[in-house]
Amino acid sequence: GVAFMDGQYLPMSEAKISVLDWGFLHSDATYDTVHVWNGRFFRLNLHLDRFLGGIERLRMNLPYDREEITSILKSCVALSGHKSAYVEMICTRGSSPTFSRDPRQAENRFMAFAVPFGSVANNEQLERGLHVAISETVRIPPKSIDPSIKNYHWLDLVKGLFDAYDMGAETALILDTDGHIAEGPGFNVFIVRDGSLTTPAFGVLPGITRRTVFDLCAEIGLSVAATDVSRAEIKQADEVFVTSTAGGIMPVTRIDEAKIANGKVGPITSRLMNFYWQKHDDPAWS
Ligand code: PLP
């Protein structure tokens, strides 16, 4: 892979930041991840909107504008030589030359990298569906950290993952402050009931893949709503799937001890998975 840092393109192994960077010390950073499929970015503008929106709300400043960031990301991909890549852009608070605790004195840093695309779910998992456990862990309250800012605060999600491993599952869903289903480590969740889709509305990252599912549903004519999803509702759903840039649409066929419906990947999930990958060949979706 290839990284961009301090105005230079470097091999990934040479891309290093100071331990004094507030991104590392305090998770004071925002980032976004976009993928390139067969040489084409998928929904880059939506990722840039979210990234630049987060930077503004965190009151950071970047020495690069949207066009320059776009060209840096494209150069990372071109220099990496990968036709399908996972591309990350990061802005950290940086560090203050005087060790000041005043974030206004830090010089914000931008970096980016492109590495080969490797889905978080393997083919076997996509065919049989994931086994997810619901952890009692609560996602960061939205009044504490604005969930629309993509952030590296994952202690809650990682705790959820260990709870899930202890329950014999392979990944986790954690809760919002009201005890409803929120999201998982790096993904949003949808349930299908009687042909209609629902996804949690509050306290979750507004995922670009989640948004893409809304757009796909609009084209196919499926109804989809963003509202609370209870633990009982998810277990009684006809179908469940999770969404992320790194894995696309991934079916879930087991939650805690119970199978979802007959335990097989459902027809609406399959249809959306196919449609999602088809859109990667459509320049209108790049
Ligand atoms: N929720 C969280 C906490 C995430 O970190 C991510 C992605 O990393 C997602 C959801 C999915 O978002 P997207 O579809 O934009 O990748």
Whether residue 210 has its Cβ less than 6 Å from ligand 1? yes
**236: number of Cβ within 10 Å:** 13
The CATH code for residues 2-116 is 3.30.470.10
- Domain 123-285, second-level architecture: Alpha-Beta Barrel (3.20)
As a whole number, mean pLDDT of residues 91-116 equals 93
Query: 99 CA distance to ligand 1 centroid (A)?
Result: 32
**267: number of Cβ within 10 Å:** 12
pLDDT category of residue 115 using cuts at 50, 70 and 90:
very high
User: Which residue's CA is the nearest one to ligand 1's atom 8?
Assistant: 186
SS (H, E, C) 72-119: HHHHHHHHHCCCCEEEEEEEEEEECCCCCCCHHHCEEEEEEEEEECCC
Share of the chain above pLDDT 90, in %: 94
pLDDT of residue 119: 81
Among residues 228, 9, 11, 276, the alpha carbon closest in space to that of 121 is found at 276
User: Which residue's CA is the nearest one to ligand 1's atom 7?
Assistant: 186
pLDDT of residue 286: 85
Q: Give span(s): CATH 3.20.10.10, the chain.
A: 123-285
Checking if the pLDDT of 18 tops 90, the result is yes
pLDDT category of residue 98 using cuts at 50, 70 and 90:
confident
Q: Give span(s): CATH 3.30.470.10, the chain.
A: 2-116
User: Which residue's CA is the nearest one to ligand 1's atom 10?
Assistant: 187
Query: What span, in angstroms and rounded, lies between the C-alpha atoms of 30 and 91?
Result: 5
Whether residue 187 has its Cβ less than 6 Å from ligand 1? yes
pLDDT of residue 199: 98
pTM over 0.95: yes
Whether residue 186 has its Cβ less than 6 Å from ligand 1? yes
Question: What does the angle CA 128 – CA 200 – CA 271 come to, to the nearest 5 degrees?
Answer: 40
Mean pLDDT computed over every residue of the chain: 96
**pLDDT tens across 40-91, in order?**
999 999 999 999 999 999 999 998 999 999 999 999 999 999 999 999 999 9
